[in-house]
């Protein structure tokens, strides 16, 4: 059994490491999904129930946004036309591979990024969490780090 890599993204969206993280995720997911498709055809013959059961499926890649990377989850973040919009690129990648996009709730809130629940709880004027991103506690990161994961920080 192979471990699912974990990308811990901490770089601000303007930093080259934020762009490198996206490129790495794309390349890894493309390669892993090709390998998974080959493996899943063999598994179809052996145990089709496990493949169809979303609970037993493991993600191809775990991603966690922490620190300054929480800015990526801001749906109001403007990007000039001559630069890549990392928020939209992560959203498209997440949709293509059914990839969760968890963001540390504390670092997000401290950077002005909030969902509806936290805006209500903390009496903020509105929410601005981009579609596809979710605010989570650090316990989510701890769960991803179980079982000797391969951690890669950008």
118 occurs within a structural domain: yes
Give residue-wise pLDDT tens across range 34-46: 876 644 444 443 3
From 22, 32, 72, 104, active-site residue: 104
Q: Is the pLDDT of residue 73 over 60?
A: yes
What total number of domains does the chain contain?
A: 1
Residue 75 lies in a domain: yes
Task: For residue 55, name the pLDDT band (cuts at 50, 70, 90).
Answer: very low
Annotated catalytic residue 104: yes
Position 33 in a domain: no
Mean pLDDT of 22-29: 96
Examine residue 32 and state whether it is found in any structural domain, yes or no.
no
Q: Which domain holds residue 7?
A: 3-26+58-151
Q: Looking at residue 141, which CATH number applies to its domain?
A: 3.40.1260.10
The 151-153 sheet, strands edge to edge: 133-136, 101-104, 62-65, 6-9, 151-153
Q: For residue 31, is it within any domain?
A: no
């Amino acid at each position: 059994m192979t471990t699912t890599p974990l990308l811990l993204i901490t770089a601000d969206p303007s930093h080259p490491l934020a762009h490198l993280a996206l490129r790495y995720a794309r390349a890894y997911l493309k390669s892993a999904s090709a390998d998974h498709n080959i493996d899943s055809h063999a598994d179809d013959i052996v145990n089709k129930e496990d493949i169809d059961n979303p609970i037993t499926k493991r993600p191809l890649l775990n991603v966690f946004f922490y620190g300054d990377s929480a800015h990526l989850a801001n749906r109001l973040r403007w990007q000039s036309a001559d630069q890549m919009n990392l928020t939209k690129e992560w959203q498209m990648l997440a949709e293509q591979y059914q990839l969760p996009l968890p963001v540390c709730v504390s670092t997000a809130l401290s950077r002005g990024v909030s969902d509806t629940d936290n805006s209500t709880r903390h009496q903020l004027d509105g929410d601005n969490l981009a579609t596809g991103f979710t605010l989570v506690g650090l316990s989510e990161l701890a769960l991803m780090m179980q079982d000797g994961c391969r951690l890669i920080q950008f």
